[in-house]
Structure 1
Amino acid sequence: MIVNMTDLPDTPAIAGSVCVVGAGPVGIALALRLAELGRDVVLLEAGGTTHDASKQDAYRGTVTDPALHYPLDEYRERRLGGTSTIWGGRCMPLDPIDFAPRDWIPDSGWPIGPDALAAYYPDANRLCEAGAFAYTLDAAFPDVRKPMIAGFAGQHFTSDTLERFSCPTDFGKRYRDRLAQSPRIRVLLGAAVTHIALNADGTAVTGLSVRTDAGATVPIVAQAYVLATGGLETARLLLASRDVQPSGIGNAHDVVGRYYMCHLAGTIGAFHATGAVWHGYDMAADGSYCRRRLALTAETQTAQRIGNFVARLHHPRIADPAHGASVLSALYLGRMLVPAHYRKRLADEGAGGIATTARHAWNIARDPLAVAGFAKQMLVDRRLAERKFPSVVVAPKNNVYSLDFHAEQEPQPDSRVTLGEDRDAFGMPRLTVDWRYTRGDVTTVQTALALLSDDLARSGCGRFDFDPDMVETEMTRYGAYGGHHIGTARMGDDPRRSVVDKDCRVHGIANLHLAGAAVFPTSSQANPTLTAVALALRLADRLQVGAA
C-alpha cells in the first residue's frame, strides 16, 4: 500500500513491526528485504512522488564556507526514491583496504571486514540494476578487450578494475509497484518525522512523531526503528530529539554530526598519449555500461601512507579549442543549453574572445558529422533509452587527455554538521554544515598523481604533466563532491568514538538502527550507494534475527 498520510482515516497511532524512515534507495531496499523475510514494515517518506519545491525547502540550511560546499537543498531529493531520482548511477564496491585500520589515517577502520558485505553486494548490484557483480576486467569481460592505454604496465596503478553504471535506476519508480502490492509494506507519503521518543532511561525508542502535509501530528509505534534518511538528515533527527538525552540521541560523547566526509574530486593535468587509448564505455553482455579506471593499489597506499584514489581519462578542457574536437567545441559554444552544474564548470574554465570563438567554430566546420553523431547519441542513447549512456566521451584529435580523479577523504571530527537557530515549516531546526578537508587529503592527491605520472613514463605510453601546486585548487574548485554525505553517525565498537555498533544499532538503544552512508567510518574512493544498499540488506538479516 502507498498512501498519503492526509488520506488516512483518523487514528490514534500507526503500528508496524519495523518502521523505516526514508524511502530512498537504502530505505526501499531495506523494506523490500524485510518484507521478504516476513516482517511487517511501515515505510515513511516526508515527500510525495514528484519534486515539490515546498517540501524541498525543508532541506535548506547554512553552509559555513559556500565556496567549499553546495547549498543543502541541492543533490538530494525529498520524495519517493530520494536522491536516486537524480543520481548518475555509478556503482562500485569498497576495496578491502578501506575496512582496515590504517595508522596513517586517523580514526580509520571499520568494525566489520569485507567478508561481512560479500554476500550482500550481488543483491545490492541487482537492486541498483548495475548488471553482474563483476568489477574486474577479467570477470566482466572474459574475452580479450582492447587495453585502456596501450603499453601500460603500472607499478603503482592498475587498469583492470571497473566501475559499473545503473540505468540510473529511480528506486521510487522502479519499485513502486512492488511496494504497493506487498501485503507487508505500508508506504506513507507526506510523513515528516520530527521527533524520536525514548523511554525514561533512554534505552529504547517508544515512538516517532510525524507531521502530515495538513499540519497534524501522528504517532508511529513499532518494535524496531531504522533511520535511512541520508547522512545529513540522519544527524539532524538524532540531534533534534533532545528531551531525554539533552545532547541528542546517541550523542552522549558528541560524535553525532562529526566526521562528515564527501569525496575529493577534480580534473587536472594533460596526458600526452603516444599510442592507442580507450577511455570509453564497454557494454557487458547484460547491457550495462562499464568503464575502466586507473586505481591506486593497496600496497602503494600502504607504502606511501596515503588514502585511496582512482582516476579516469577525461577529455581536455572544453574551453581550449586546441583539442581540435568538433563535439567539444559545439558543447562550449552551446554551453547555455547544457544543465546548470555543467554550465558552471564551463564558465569556470574561462571564456575566450572572438579569436577563441572562431577557432571553436573552425573545429566544428572541419567535422560536422561528428557533432551530428554525438547529438544523435545523446538523444537516442541518453535521453530516450531506459539504460542511459552515462556521460560525454570524446576522443581529442591531438590524443591529449586530462585526468578526472576521485579520492578518499580522511575522517576528521572538526568536519561536521550541527543544528542551526532557524527552523523549517515542520518546526525542525535547520542544519549548519562546516565541511573541511585535511593536509593529508591534499597529500593523497598530490602523491597519487606523481606516482601515476611515473607509471605512465616508465611504461613508455605517454607523458602526464600536472602542476603539484595546483592540486589543492583543483580538488576544491567545486567543493565537496555533491550527493556523497558520509560518516555523520559512524560505526564502531567504542561508544565514545562512534554512534552505532557493527550491526548499525545505536549504542545503548535496543531498537534503533541507522542505515546508509552516515554509518561509514571512512569514505573510500567509491561512490557510496552500492555499499549503503548492501549494508541495508545486511541490516535486514540482523533485524530478522533480533525478532526471532
Structure 2
Amino acid sequence: MILDIESLEDGATLEADLCILGGGAAGITLALQFLRGPGRVILVESGRRAPHPESQALYEGEVADPALHPPVHAYRARRFGGSTTLWGGRCVPLDPIDFTTRPWIPHSGWPFGVEELASWYPAANALCEAGEFDYSAAIAVPGGMRPMIAGFAPRDFSEDGIERFSTPTDFAGRYAHRLAASESVRVVLGANCTGLETAPEGGRVAALRLRTLSGRGATIRAARVVVALGGLETPRLLLASRGPGAEAGVGNGQDLVGRYYMSHIAGTSGRLHLAVPRDAVNAGYEVAEDGTYIRRRLHLTQEAQEREGVGNAVIRLHFPRIPDPSHGSGVLSGLYLARHLLPYEYRKRLETPGDRPSVLRHLRNVVADPLSATGFAWTMLRKRRLAARKFPSVIVRPPGNVFSLDFHGEQEPNPESRVTLADATDPLGVPRLRVDWRATAGDIRTAQVSFRLLAEDLALWGRGSLSYDPEEVGADMLRDGAYGGHHIGTARMGATPATGVVDPECRVHGMANLWVAGSAVFPTSGQANPTLTVVALALRLAAHLKREMQPCAVPVG
C-alpha cells in the first residue's frame, strides 16, 4: 500500500514491527524483502513521486569550503526513489583489499571480509538491473571483451575488471507497483522524520516524530527502526535526536556520528599518447548479451597498492578536457557551448574557476566538424534520451590517439572530515547540516603514484607515453572537490563503540532496536561507486531482521 501522509488524521499514531526511514536504494531494497511479511512494515519517505522545490530545499545547509564540496542539496533528490532518480548507473563491487586493515591507510578495515557480501552481490546486481554478476572482461561477452589498448600488458594494473551499468534504474519507478500491491508493507509519502525519541531508560527508540511542510504531524511506534536516509541525512537525524541516553545525539556517545566523511578522489589529468593504430584502442562501451553496457578500466593491482602504500584506484581513457578548445573536437566544443542547458552535476565540471577559453575557438571547432556534432546529437537522442536502457555517458574519440586520463580513487577515512549540525534550522525546525569535507595528502598521493606507475608501464612497453605533472595531477583531483553524490562513512561500521557507530550487523551500538542502512556505514570507500554495495548490505540486513521477526516455533508433543 502507498499512501500520502496528508490522508491521515493530524496527530495520528501508526504502529509497526519495522519502520524504514528513506525511500531510496537501501530503503526500497529493504522493504521489498517484506512484501509477504513477516510483520507489519512502514516505509517513510519525505518526498513524493515528483520533485518538489520546497521539499528539496530541506536539504540545504552550509559548506565549510565551497571550492571543495558542492552545495549540500546538490547531487541528492528528496523524493520517492531518492538519488536513484538521478544516478548514472555505474555498478562495481568492492574489492577484497577494501575490507582489510591496511597499515598504510589509517582507520581502514571492515569488521568482516568480502566473503560476507559475496552471496548478496548477485541479487543486488539483479535489483540494480546491471545484468549478470560477472565483472571479468575475459568472460563478460563470448570470446571476451576487446582489449582497452591492444598489446599493452601493464605490470601494475589489471585490465580484466569491468564496470556494469544499470538502466539506470529509478528504484521507485521500477518497484513501486510491488510495494503498492503488498498487504504487509505501507509506504507513507510526504512524511519528514524530525527526530527519534529514545525511551526514558535509553537504549532504544520509542517513537519517531513526523511532520509535513503543511504543518501536520504524526507518530510512529515501531519495534525496530532502520535509518536509510543516505550518507548526509542519516548523521543529521542522529545528531538532531537528543534524549535519555543520547544527550549528544543518538549513537554519538563516542563522538563518531558525522566523522570520517568520505567521497572519492576523482578528476581528469595528463596526456596519454599512443603509437598504435586507431582501431587498437577501445575506450568506450561494449554490450553484454543481456543488453547491459559494460566497460573496461585500468585497475591498480593489490600488489602495487601494498608495495607503494596507496589506496585503491582505477583509471579510464578519457577525451581531453572539454573547456580547452585545443582538442579540436566539434562534439566537445558543442557540449561546452551548450553547458548552461546541462544539469548542475555535469555543468559544474565544465565551469572551472579561472579557465576562460575562447568561445570563438569552440565555435570554429563546431563549424569545422559539423557532421560529427550532428551524429553525436542523434546518437545521444536515440541511445540515451529515448532508450529504456540508456547509454551511460558521453564517449567522444579525440582526434589522433591522444587521451586524458579519468582517475577515480579511494579516499582515506579521516576523522576531521565530517558533517555537523549548523545553527540554522529548516522550516520543520531540524538543524541544517554543515559539511567540512577534507582530502588528505595520502588521497592525492594515490592519484600521483597511479599516474607515475602507468607512465613507467607505458615506457617499458615502448608504444605509448604519459606526460603529466604531479602537482597538476593533485590540483586536478581537487578541481571539483568531493565527487558527486558519494556520501560515505558518516555512521561507520566497527566491532566496538570506540571504532564505529554501528556494529557488524549495522545495529547502532548501544541501541537495541535501531539499525542504519546505506553508504554511511562503510568504513572505507574503496574505488567502487557505492550503490551496488549499498543494495547488497541492505539485502544482508533484511535477512537479519527477518530472522529476528520470525515467530518462535512452538514445540509439538
- 1:58 CA drift (Å): 0.9
Aligned residue for 1:328? 332
Contact 1:333 1:357 in 2 (8 A): no
Aligned residue for 2:112? 112
Letter of the 1:357 partner, please give it.
L
- 1:370 CA drift (Å): 1.9
Aligned residue for 2:479? 477
SS at match of 2:208: strand
SS at match of 2:399: coil
Contact 2:61 2:71 in 1 (8 A): yes
- 1:10 CA drift (Å): 5.3
RMSD over equivalenced CA pairs, Å: 1.6
- 1:37 CA drift (Å): 5.2
The equivalent position to 1:338 in structure 2, one of 334, 339, 342, is: 342
Aligned residue for 2:184? 184
- Separation in structure 1 between the aligned mates of residue 412 and residue 264 of structure 2, nearest angstrom: 9
- Separation in structure 2 between the aligned mates of residue 341 and residue 44 of structure 1, nearest angstrom: 27
1:302 maps to 2:306: yes
SS at match of 2:30: helix
- Separation in structure 2 between the aligned mates of residue 240 and residue 246 of structure 1, nearest angstrom: 10
Letter of the 1:249 partner, please give it.
V
Contact 2:231 2:518 in 1 (8 A): yes
SS at match of 2:271: strand
Q: Unpaired segments of 5 or more residues in structure 1? A: none
1:233 maps to 2:233: yes
Contact 1:205 1:512 in 2 (8 A): yes
Contact 1:323 1:398 in 2 (8 A): no
- 1:366 CA drift (Å): 4.5
Contact 2:10 2:216 in 1 (8 A): no
Aligned residue for 2:219? 219
Aligned residue for 1:30? 30
Aligned residue for 1:281? 285
SS at match of 2:26: helix
SS at match of 1:175: helix
The equivalent position to 1:421 in structure 2, one of 423, 441, 456, is: 423
Q: TM-score, normalised by structure 1?
A: 0.96
- 1:513 CA drift (Å): 0.3
- Separation in structure 2 between the aligned mates of residue 261 and residue 36 of structure 1, nearest angstrom: 37
Aligned residue for 1:383? 385
- Separation in structure 1 between the aligned mates of residue 310 and residue 36 of structure 2, nearest angstrom: 42
What count of residue pairs does the alignment treat as equivalent? 545
- Separation in structure 2 between the aligned mates of residue 250 and residue 321 of structure 1, nearest angstrom: 51
Aligned residue for 2:554? none
- 1:336 CA drift (Å): 3.8
Q: TM-score, normalised by structure 2?
A: 0.95
Of the structure 1 ranges 140-149 and 253-262, higher mean CA displacement relative to structure 2 is found in 140-149
SS at match of 2:161: strand
Contact 2:519 2:530 in 1 (8 A): yes
Aligned residue for 1:437? 439
Q: 1:469 to 1:10 in 2, by over 3 A?
A: closer
Contact 1:17 1:41 in 2 (8 A): yes
1:357 maps to 2:360: yes
- 1:402 CA drift (Å): 0.2
Q: What do residues 359-386 of structure 1 show as CA deviations (whole Å, max 9, x unaligned)?
A: x455444543222211111111111111
- Separation in structure 2 between the aligned mates of residue 37 and residue 297 of structure 1, nearest angstrom: 44
Contact 1:151 1:461 in 2 (8 A): no
Of the structure 1 ranges 137-146 and 536-545, higher mean CA displacement relative to structure 2 is found in 137-146
Q: 1:328 to 1:212 in 2, by over 3 A?
A: closer
Aligned residue for 1:44? 44
SS at match of 1:140: coil
SS at match of 2:224: strand
SS at match of 2:541: helix
Letter of the 1:55 partner, please give it.
S
- Separation in structure 1 between the aligned mates of residue 370 and residue 393 of structure 2, nearest angstrom: 20
Aligned residue for 1:208? 208
Aligned residue for 1:7? 7
Contact 1:324 1:398 in 2 (8 A): no
Q: 1:10 to 1:61 in 2, by over 3 A?
A: closer
Of the structure 1 ranges 402-411 and 212-221, higher mean CA displacement relative to structure 2 is found in 212-221
Letter of the 1:328 partner, please give it.
L
Aligned residue for 1:140? 140
- Separation in structure 2 between the aligned mates of residue 361 and residue 150 of structure 1, nearest angstrom: 35
Q: What do residues 13-38 of structure 1 show as CA deviations (whole Å, max 9, x unaligned)?
A: 10111100000011000100133553
Of the structure 1 ranges 225-234 and 327-336, higher mean CA displacement relative to structure 2 is found in 327-336
Letter of the 2:431 partner, please give it.
P
- Separation in structure 1 between the aligned mates of residue 30 and residue 112 of structure 2, nearest angstrom: 19
Aligned residue for 1:513? 515
Contact 2:135 2:162 in 1 (8 A): yes
Q: Unpaired segments of 5 or more residues in structure 2? A: 551-557
The equivalent position to 2:469 in structure 1, one of 467, 485, 500, is: 467
1:315 maps to 2:319: yes
Letter of the 1:299 partner, please give it.
E
- 1:129 CA drift (Å): 0.9
- Separation in structure 2 between the aligned mates of residue 341 and residue 38 of structure 1, nearest angstrom: 40
Aligned residue for 1:534? 536
- Separation in structure 2 between the aligned mates of residue 546 and residue 194 of structure 1, nearest angstrom: 27
- Separation in structure 1 between the aligned mates of residue 156 and residue 91 of structure 2, nearest angstrom: 23
- 1:8 CA drift (Å): 1.8
- 1:457 CA drift (Å): 2.0
1:65 maps to 2:68: no
- Separation in structure 1 between the aligned mates of residue 506 and residue 347 of structure 2, nearest angstrom: 40
Letter of the 1:317 partner, please give it.
R
- Separation in structure 2 between the aligned mates of residue 327 and residue 295 of structure 1, nearest angstrom: 28
Contact 1:25 1:81 in 2 (8 A): yes
Aligned residue for 2:555? none
